[in-house]
Amino acid sequence: MKKLLLLTTVSAFAVCLVFLGSCFKEELITQSISGKVSLYLYDKKFQDNGMSVYLVSNDGTQVSETNDLGEYSFQDVPEGSYDLHFEHNGFGTYKIFNVTHNSIGPTDIDSVLKLQTQSHIQITQTSTSVVSDTVMIEGLCEPGPSSPYSSYLRVLFGRDPGTNPLNYEYYSPIYSTIYNPAILTFNKVELYSMGFQTGDKVYFYLAGESLFSNEYFDPNSGIQMFPNLNEEAGTGSFIVP
């Protein structure tokens, strides 16, 4: 009888502990993550709906799609660190890393993201020349610029013969040109500021670019990414004067 009473008491005590634990268990608080994009087809405004936005974390991936206003949102998201990937047919993938989301309130991606289709400009021929202390790079664009639209270009530089968008030492800003072939000039002072010295053999990668380049810094690879560059690029080399 005493054993039965003891077992009953222990069981009742265990039930109480489980009940109390459930009462004091911290409630999972979730909030939303939202933002907005503005999409462009070449230099013209494009419809903002239909872009897939991926919310990526160690716990998995959620997907949202932009509406007619370019808005996207994720509901009931637990606090944590998230990456956002933006994908659309014809657009270079844009990424935002390490978005901190907490339970204090909704997380709004502040600025409207202006994203554009990948460049349609191919570089079919390149040549270089050196005049005094200035290097000139010429690139034949296909299609060429047509008024009122310009061609947009970017140059990547490096000492490696295999210089490309994943292997470079310096990247230029975006250049706009109404001429074909495009002529880009770099004097010795500019080349020195890129980290090159007189006598260095420098390789370049000249590619069509978009006005809104969808570029971002990738903390995993440690380099700036240019997803809108046209893969039909021109390459060449020169000796720093």
**What is the Cα–Cα distance from 34 to 75, expressed in whole angstroms?**
8
Instruction: Give residue 46's identity as a one-letter amino acid code.
Output: F
Nearest Cα residue to 137 out of 236, 231, 229: 236
Per-residue pLDDT of 162-173, as tens digits, reads 999 999 999 999
What's the pTM?
0.85
> Do the beta carbons of residue 231 and residue 122 sit within 8 Å?
no
Q: pLDDT grade, residue 26 (50/70/90)?
A: low
Asked, as a colleague might, if the bond just before 143 is cis with ω within 30 of 0, I would say yes
Question: Sign of the CA dihedral 194, 199, 203, 206?
Answer: positive
Instruction: Classify residue 56 as exposed, middle or buried by CB count within 10 Å of its CB (0-12, 13-18, 19+).
Output: middle
* CATH 3.40.50.300, domain 122-239, yes or no: no
Instruction: Encode pLDDT of 157-208 as tens digits.
Output: 999 999 999 999 999 999 999 999 999 999 999 999 999 999 999 999 999 9
Do 173 and 159 form a contact (C-beta atoms < 8 A)? no
Going from N- to C-terminal start, the domains of the chain cover 30-116, 122-239
pLDDT, one tens digit per residue, over 41-92 is 987 999 999 999 999 999 999 999 999 999 999 999 999 999 999 999 999 9
Residue whose C-alpha is closest to residue 155's, from 229, 240, 232: 229
pLDDT at 43: 79
* Longest Cα–Cα distance in the chain: 108
Query: Mean pLDDT throughout 21-31?
Result: 58
Look at residue 2 in the predicted model and tell me its pLDDT. Answer: 42
Class of the 30-116 domain?
A: mainly beta
* Sequence-ordered list of residues with C-beta below 8 angstroms from that of 113, at least 6 positions apart, any chain: 35, 36, 37, 38, 86, 94
